[in-house]
Chains A and B, each alone.
Chain A
């Protein structure tokens, strides 16, 4: 996980050259509970950093998914729609959501690294 970056809204990013893979963290899925539905953008769509690109629903909560980076969606994990439980079971692997071509790689500099994210989560969990 050392190569992952995070946001305060609990999304993770895995950067690979000019591409980035995005999903939600284990903490996020545990807070949401059993996921029942996910709505994702389509390939070709432009998404922007900090704006909403999807919706995720569990039986007790509905949440927006915010994009950590700006770019064009090149691949979507369409199988997730029929298997939302993968997000609970494997949030960093099978539960990945979209792959984008980054519009501005510099945006990743403001993302949290693993230890900063962990610190952030620990603080939030105590409230």
Chain B
């Protein structure tokens, strides 16, 4: 039998030791009405070889992104992951270890997470970071709940273009509470409409939430937005792509109080959208409202430097119904992966990754702009993705797909008034030939 080590002999021996003669007696307290009389209606177990074979055949029914010339982004990004990262993360002592509640047997894990927390603080300019949460969408929900707890106010403003799934997730999380959510639609130029925002901000606003770069790929005037919110003593929550922080200014210097987002661009593969991790960072004064696990540095009883999980009294296993959140696990392995990624790439590698993405995206932007039939509604103040429109966008995307090109994310799938708009992304993995291939093929389709 796979995955259990006891032989039949061991089994019988142990039964006898506890005074039983058959396995049935192990379940004597289960009411007979709910006991199953026969085996589950499942197949018999497979050998390891057969399991591998079956799963391989399922994997082959998927066409990985590598078989296309792809420009898909929209919240999940295809970045190069150094081989050393996977070699490190696949180590048993990281992969099969438990949550580091017992610090004496987890110093390595704790230090790795402490380093992760430090990296997030360096990237964002914030004072403190937690040990990660589930994903970007839930990190936003946690950030909003945090802002509401701190300000004791009930109104939440969502300014500008946000990833639609994040908004849906936020709505779900907030449904158990009594908050008012107000969306400020983007202005004509695709950025936050400052006039509308100013009108919406009031003394009941807990926070103003902005995404930068926003869902249209545009870089917002973060400080201006933050200043408006500060006038009403509302907190500023920023959702961001951590890789963009290699070239964009640290949110802490722009007046942001809580930074969150999805950490997938930092060393996690596409994985069909999961697992990934969310990050959450803030200022020292909000420490006690920060949900999730946190690692702290301290000493052992002999004065030697040591790490441990700390601030646990905010968490569910101690505060119970007064907890700041019900989070129990986080996404440690992926967060440690981010620490490894940032260690391997360093300032140089990260900047290069970001700049190459930027250069590629600008090149695509310029080339598309030149095409007759293509309109680009917004300025190229972008990081790695942007919006363009073409008549019968879906039809065009299908024709491109037939030529093995995935043009990007069809905005009409989730946004009203975007029937002819596409969001195209260039990471550092793209090169000039691939971009030319995309644009030239599109030109042929449009002319033909």
In the complex they form, whether A and B have CB atoms below 8 Å apart is answered with yes
List chain B residues, Cβ under 8 A from A39: 288
CB 8 Å contact bits of B287-324 with A (1 = contact, 0 = none): 01000000000000000000000001110001100100
**Closest chain B residue, CB of each to CB of A64:** B322
Within 8 Å by CB of A60, from B288, B314, B318, B322, lies B318
Asked whether A59 is an interface residue with its Cβ less than 8 Å from the other chain, the reply is yes
Q: Give the distance in Å from the alpha carbon of A28 to the alpha carbon of B312 in the complex.
A: 20
Asked whether A81 is an interface residue with its Cβ less than 8 Å from the other chain, the reply is no
Q: How far is the CB of B323 from chain A (nearest CB, A)?
A: 9
The interface centre, meaning the residue of A37, A57, A60 with most chain B CB atoms within 10 A of its CB, is: A57
List chain A residues, Cβ under 8 A from B319: 62
- With A57-B313, A58-B313, A59-B313: A37-B318 Cβ-Cβ less than 8 Å: no
B interface bracket (residues with beta carbon within 8 Å of A): under 10
Total A-B residue contacts, Cβ distance less than 8 Å: 18
Q: Give the distance in Å from the alpha carbon of A60 to the alpha carbon of B312 in the complex.
A: 8
Asked whether A43 is an interface residue with its Cβ less than 8 Å from the other chain, the reply is no
Q: Give the distance in Å from the alpha carbon of A36 to the alpha carbon of B296 in the complex.
A: 14
List chain A residues, Cβ under 8 A from B312: 59
* Interface hits, A49-103 → B, CB 8 Å: 57-62, 64
What count of chain A residues pass the 8 Å CB interface test?
Answer: 10
Q: How far is the CB of B112 from chain A (nearest CB, A)?
A: 23
List chain B residues, Cβ under 8 A from A57: 313
Q: How far is the CB of B29 from chain A (nearest CB, A)?
A: 27
Q: How far is the CB of B321 from chain A (nearest CB, A)?
A: 11
List chain A residues, Cβ under 8 A from B314: 62
Q: How far is the CB of B158 from chain A (nearest CB, A)?
A: 31
List chain B residues, Cβ under 8 A from A36: 313
**Closest chain A residue, CB of each to CB of B320:** A62
* Interface hits, B312-338 → A, CB 8 Å: 312-314, 318-319, 322
Q: How far is the CB of B296 from chain A (nearest CB, A)?
A: 11
Q: Give the distance in Å from the alpha carbon of A74 to the alpha carbon of B306 in the complex.
A: 42
Q: Give the distance in Å from the alpha carbon of A47 to the alpha carbon of B401 in the complex.
A: 68
**Closest chain A residue, CB of each to CB of B312:** A59
Q: Give the distance in Å from the alpha carbon of A49 to the alpha carbon of B319 in the complex.
A: 23
**Closest chain B residue, CB of each to CB of A56:** B313
Q: Give the distance in Å from the alpha carbon of A36 to the alpha carbon of B313 in the complex.
A: 10
Q: Give the distance in Å from the alpha carbon of A37 to the alpha carbon of B288 in the complex.
A: 10
List chain B residues, Cβ under 8 A from A61: 313, 318
List chain A residues, Cβ under 8 A from B313: 36-37, 57-62
* Interface hits, B424-441 → A, CB 8 Å: none
Q: Give the distance in Å from the alpha carbon of A57 to the alpha carbon of B322 in the complex.
A: 12
List chain A residues, Cβ under 8 A from B288: 37, 39
Q: Give the distance in Å from the alpha carbon of A102 to the alpha carbon of B51 in the complex.
A: 74
**Closest chain A residue, CB of each to CB of B308:** A59
Q: How far is the CB of B102 from chain A (nearest CB, A)?
A: 14
CB 8 Å contact bits of A108-121 with B (1 = contact, 0 = none): 00000000000000
Q: Give the distance in Å from the alpha carbon of A57 to the alpha carbon of B311 in the complex.
A: 9
**Closest chain A residue, CB of each to CB of B314:** A62
The interface centre, meaning the residue of A36, A60, A62 with most chain B CB atoms within 10 A of its CB, is: A62
Q: Give the distance in Å from the alpha carbon of A60 to the alpha carbon of B318 in the complex.
A: 7
Q: How far is the CB of A123 from chain B (nearest CB, A)?
A: 24
Q: Give the distance in Å from the alpha carbon of A61 to the alpha carbon of B312 in the complex.
A: 9
Q: How far is the CB of A67 from chain B (nearest CB, A)?
A: 18
Q: Give the distance in Å from the alpha carbon of A9 to the alpha carbon of B395 in the complex.
A: 70
Q: Give the distance in Å from the alpha carbon of A93 to the alpha carbon of B313 in the complex.
A: 26
Q: How far is the CB of A87 from chain B (nearest CB, A)?
A: 15
Q: How far is the CB of A31 from chain B (nearest CB, A)?
A: 14
Q: Give the distance in Å from the alpha carbon of A9 to the alpha carbon of B362 in the complex.
A: 65
Q: Give the distance in Å from the alpha carbon of A36 to the alpha carbon of B312 in the complex.
A: 11
Q: How far is the CB of B191 from chain A (nearest CB, A)?
A: 40
Q: How far is the CB of A65 from chain B (nearest CB, A)?
A: 13
**Closest chain B residue, CB of each to CB of A57:** B313
List chain A residues, Cβ under 8 A from B322: 62, 64
List chain B residues, Cβ under 8 A from A60: 313, 318
List chain B residues, Cβ under 8 A from A64: 322
**Closest chain B residue, CB of each to CB of A61:** B318
CB 8 Å contact bits of A31-43 with B (1 = contact, 0 = none): 0000011010000
Binding site for A on B (CB under 8 A): 288, 312-314, 318-319, 322
Q: Top 3 nearest A-B pairs by Cβ distance?
A: A62-B313, A57-B313, A62-B319
Given contacts A37-B288, A61-B313, A62-B313, 10 further A-B contacts (CB under 8 A): A37-B313, A57-B313, A58-B313, A59-B313, A60-B313, A61-B318, A62-B314, A62-B318, A62-B322, A64-B322
Between A and B, 18 residue pairs with Cβ closer than 8 Å are A36-B313, A37-B288, A37-B313, A39-B288, A57-B313, A58-B313, A59-B312, A59-B313, A60-B313, A60-B318, A61-B313, A61-B318, A62-B313, A62-B314, A62-B318, A62-B319, A62-B322, A64-B322
